[in-house]
């Protein structure tokens, strides 16, 4: 009997080894060079300023990814099950305004009051004042948009948005979060910055080769935009005008966390949401694609994942850190975005059933 148990155990162990070494997975990991992780020091020293957040209810929804204000000051947020929730300017009376039929992520208003939506499942959408939804584009340069992520609208009407990855479509891979984990584990350079021109109906690729293209924000003077590259922990500046038009430069890198959305704030600020601290295992295995493939075969519960930590920063157009707001033991974790008006910061999250509201006066802004 003992020999039978040993033989069976050895057979199971052999099958497990074969599985870990050979079972097909969606990713084909590449070698990459991990940027230095300087950690939470200097201008990023830990604090508890985000502990002053007040939760604002969004009905029966959760995952308020992005936040925008209309001309009346009303608050809009995109949520996990497709609802665009609208609240009054004082944060009361949440209502499910429309459902996109997909997963809306970045949102921004255009000059005509239409809400422009980067929908990870459907592409780039426009929603008019009456709540009618129209598809603006779902491909660029003949390539399908598989993970529309964040969006901003220029004063001239052009729309700039990110396609996080053309390989791991959010709809095909069971949602935005699972697809993002696949893209980050593979670390391919298949994210892109796109431009949609309403005047021509054309969608162009402005910049490609990004590892998980994410937040997009246009400067007040419209001369450049910033785009987050989540997988490489950095922010790029893309010039829209002048002698540098079409050129890019990295303005801040070696961040201690994954940058998510970025938004244009007040007084030249850009607000950057840091969704989760960097994963040390992912960094250590950057030059070991074979081991990363083995890890992908493990149960999802023990693979690298986002760790709750509250953190947002404000930077200027040169990448200088202007504000650093944290809450290590976070009541409002996995921050995805920040929207600023004269009195408050409103903070989105991947997982919470509320928007975070932070009174600027309480933190000296």
Q: Which residues contact 203 (CB under 8 A, 6 or more apart)?
A: 124, 137, 139, 140, 141, 145, 194, 195, 196, 197
Nearest to 114 by CA among 191, 196, 223, 202: 196
Contact (CB, 8 A) for 123 and 107: no
Alpha-carbon distances of 341 from 51, 69, 324, rounded to whole Å: 19, 8, 18
Q: Does some domain include residue 215?
A: yes
For tokens 């809009």, the residue is 76
Q: Does some domain include residue 243?
A: yes
**What is the domain-level CATH number for residue 246?**
2.120.10.30
What pLDDT does 134 receive?
A: 98
Q: Does some domain include residue 225?
A: yes
Alpha-carbon distances of 125 from 90, 103, 149, 161, 277, rounded to whole Å: 27, 11, 12, 11, 31
Q: Report the distance separating Cα 210 and Cα 161, nearest Å.
A: 13
The domain in which residue 11 lies consists of 2-32+48-363
DSSP line for 80-91: TTSEEEEE-TTS
Alpha-carbon distances of 361 from 46, 248, 341, 344, rounded to whole Å: 20, 35, 12, 8
Q: Does some domain include residue 38?
A: no
Per-residue pLDDT at 11 exceeds 90: no
| Cβ atoms < 10 Å from Cβ of 228 | 31
Alpha-carbon distances of 23 from 13, 119, 294, rounded to whole Å: 15, 32, 9
Q: Report the distance separating Cα 130 and Cα 123, nearest Å.
A: 20
SS3 253: coil
Q: Does some domain include residue 336?
A: yes
Q: Does some domain include residue 42?
A: no
Domain count, the chain: 1
Q: Is the dihedral of CA 278, 283, 286, 290 positive or negative?
A: negative
Nearest to 257 by CA among 311, 212, 305, 214: 311
CA torsion, points 27, 306, 261, 161, in degrees to nearest 10?
A: 20
What are the tens digits of pLDDT across the range 213-269?
999 999 999 999 999 999 999 999 999 999 999 999 999 999 999 999 999 999 999
37: tokens are: 């992780």
Nearest to 321 by CA among 45, 29, 58: 45
What pLDDT does 108 receive?
A: 98
Report the pLDDT averaged over residues 23-30.
87
**In whole angstroms, what separates CA 214 from the centre of its chain?**
5
Alpha-carbon distances of 362 from 73, 359, 365, rounded to whole Å: 21, 6, 8
**In whole angstroms, what separates CA 156 from the centre of its chain?**
25
User: Average per-residue pLDDT in the chain?
Assistant: 94
Report the pLDDT averaged over residues 77-105.
98
What pLDDT does 303 receive?
A: 86
Q: Does some domain include residue 37?
A: no
Q: Report the distance separating Cα 335 and Cα 350, nearest Å.
A: 7
For tokens 């001239």, the residue is 156
Report the pLDDT averaged over residues 347-351.
96
DSSP run (H or E) holding 283: helix 280-284
- In which band, very low, low, confident or very high, does the pLDDT at 17 lie, cut at 50, 70 and 90? low
Per-residue pLDDT at 4 exceeds 80: no
Q: Report the distance separating Cα 145 and Cα 191, nearest Å.
A: 10
339: tokens are: 């929207």
Q: Does some domain include residue 237?
A: yes
């Amino acid at each position: 009997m003992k020999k039978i148990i040993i033989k069976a155990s050895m057979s199971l162990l052999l099958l497990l080894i074969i599985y870990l070494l050979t079972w097909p997975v969606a990713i084909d990991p590449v070698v990459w060079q991990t940027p230095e992780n300087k950690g939470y020091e200097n201008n990023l020293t830990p604090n508890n300023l985000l502990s002053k957040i007040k939760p604002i209810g969004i009905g029966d929804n959760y995952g308020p990814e992005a936040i925008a204000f209309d001309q009346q000051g009303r608050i809009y947020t995109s949520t996990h099950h497709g609802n665009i929730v609208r609240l009054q300017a004082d944060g009361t009376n949440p209502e499910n305004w429309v459902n996109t039929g997909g997963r809306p992520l970045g949102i921004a208003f255009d000059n005509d009051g239409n809400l422009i939506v980067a929908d990870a499942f459907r592409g780039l959408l426009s929603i008019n004042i009456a709540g009618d939804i129209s598809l603006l584009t779902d491909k660029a340069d003949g390539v399908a948009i598989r993970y529309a992520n964040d969006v901003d609208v220029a004063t001239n009407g052009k729309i700039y948005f990110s396609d996080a990855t053309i390989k791991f479509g959010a709809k095909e891979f069971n949602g935005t979060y699972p697809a993002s984990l696949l893209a980050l584990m593979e670390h391919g350079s298949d994210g892109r910055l796109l431009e949609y021109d309403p005047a021509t109906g054309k969608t162009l690729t402005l910049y490609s080769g990004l590892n998980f293209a994410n937040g997009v924000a246009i400067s007040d003077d419209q001369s450049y935009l910033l785009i987050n590259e989540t997988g490489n922990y950095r922010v790029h500046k893309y010039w829209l005008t002048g002698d540098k038009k079409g050129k890019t430069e990295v303005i801040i890198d070696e961040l201690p966390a994954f940058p998510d959305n970025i938004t244009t704030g007040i007084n030249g600020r850009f607000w950057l949401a840091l969704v989760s601290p960097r994963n040390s295992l992912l960094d250590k295995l950057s030059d070991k694609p074979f081991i990363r493939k083995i890890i992908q075969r493990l149960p999802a519960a023990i693979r690298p994942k986002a760790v709750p930590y509250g953190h947002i920063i404000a930077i200027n157009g040169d990448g200088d850190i202007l504000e650093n707001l944290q809450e290590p033991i976070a009541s409002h974790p996995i921050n995805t975005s920040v929207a600023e008006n004269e009195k408050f910061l409103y903070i989105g999250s991947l997982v919470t059933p509320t928007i975070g509201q932070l009174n600027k006066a309480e933190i000296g802004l």
